[in-house]
Amino acid sequence: MRAAVIQFPGSNCDRDMAVAFDRVSGNNTPTQMVWHKDDHLPDGLDVIGIPGGFSFGDYLRCGAIAARSPIVQSVVEFAKRGGYVIGVCNGFQVLTESGLLPGVLMRNAGIKFVCKDLDLIVKTTDSAFTNRYSVDQKITVPVAHHDGNYTADATTLKQLHSEDRIAFAYAKNPNGSMDDIAGILSENRRVLGMMPHPERLNDPELGGTDGAGLFESITEALISA
Partner 1 sequence: MKAKVHITLKAGVLDPQGAAVRRSLGSLGFDGVEKVRQGKVIELDLVETDRATAEATVKSMCEKLLANTVIENYSVEIL
In the list 15, 23, 36, 68, the residue contacting partner 1 (rule: CB under 8 A) is 68
In this chain, which stretch among 26-34, 69-77, 145-153, 185-193 interacts with partner 1, using CB under 8 A?
145-153
Alpha carbon distances (Å) from 56 to 6, 98, 109, 145: 13, 15, 23, 15
In this chain, which stretch among 20-28, 47-55, 109-117, 192-200 interacts with partner 1, using CB under 8 A?
109-117
Q: Which helix (H) or strand (E) holds 185?
A: strand 181-185
In this chain, which stretch among 101-109, 129-137, 163-171, 181-189 interacts with partner 1, using CB under 8 A?
101-109
85 Cβ contact list (under 8 Å, min separation 6) = 47, 48, 49, 50, 75, 78, 79, 95, 100, 190, 191, 192
Q: Contacts with partner 1 in 110-139 (CB under 8 A)?
A: 110-111
Of residues 97 and 180, the one with the C-beta less far from partner 1 = 97
Angle of helix 14-25 versus helix 212-224 axis, rounded to 10: 50
* Burial of residue 59, with CB atoms counted within 10 A of its CB: 0-12 exposed, 13-18 middle, 19 or more buried: exposed
89 carries an active-site annotation: yes
Cα–Cα distance for residue pair 199/79, rounded to 1 Å: 21
184, 192 Cβ separation under 8 angstroms: yes
In the list 64, 144, 206, 222, the residue contacting partner 1 (rule: CB under 8 A) is 64
When asked if residue 9 is in the footprint of partner 1 (CB under 8 A), the reply is no
When asked if residue 58 is in the footprint of partner 1 (CB under 8 A), the reply is no
Could you say which of 13, 62, 97, 197 is catalytic? 197
220 carries an active-site annotation: no
Query: Is 121 strand, coil or helix?
Result: strand
62 carries an active-site annotation: no
Catalytic residues: 89, 197, 199
Q: Which residues bind partner 1 (CB under 8 A)?
A: 60-61, 64-65, 68, 97, 102-104, 106-111, 149, 151-153, 176
